[in-house]
Amino acid sequence: MTIINYIWIGPPSSEIYSLEAKNHDVSGVIKMLNLLQKNKIQTTVYFWCLDEYEKFYSFVFKKYQFVKVKGIKNY
């Protein structure tokens, strides 16, 4: 099984008011996750973020069972 680590340092882009920046923190990851699911590729994706946003990103990725959201300072 493949393990992919993705790191986002900063607030969720939904907190940034520029339309160009909206969802740039998760859009690439979601595209990758959809391709993995479509092609039935077994992997675990760790999405690392600041501890204070761990619940937010856990909600964003809740439909992807193979994504584990982790607060970076906890490790």
- Give the separation between CA 37 and CA 60, rounded to whole angstroms: 16
Q: Which of 5, 53, 55, 56 is nearest to 29 (CA)?
A: 5
Mapped onto helix, strand or coil, the DSSP state of residue 48 is strand
CA atoms of 47 and 49, how far apart (whole Å): 7
**Segment 18-41, tens digit of pLDDT:** 555 567 788 888 898 889 889 998
Q: Is the pLDDT of residue 12 over 90?
A: no
* Whether pTM exceeds 0.75: yes
Rounded to 5 degrees, φ, ψ at 69 are -90, 130
Q: Which two tokens stand for residue 33?
A: 């996750």
The reported pLDDT for the residue numbered 7 is 93
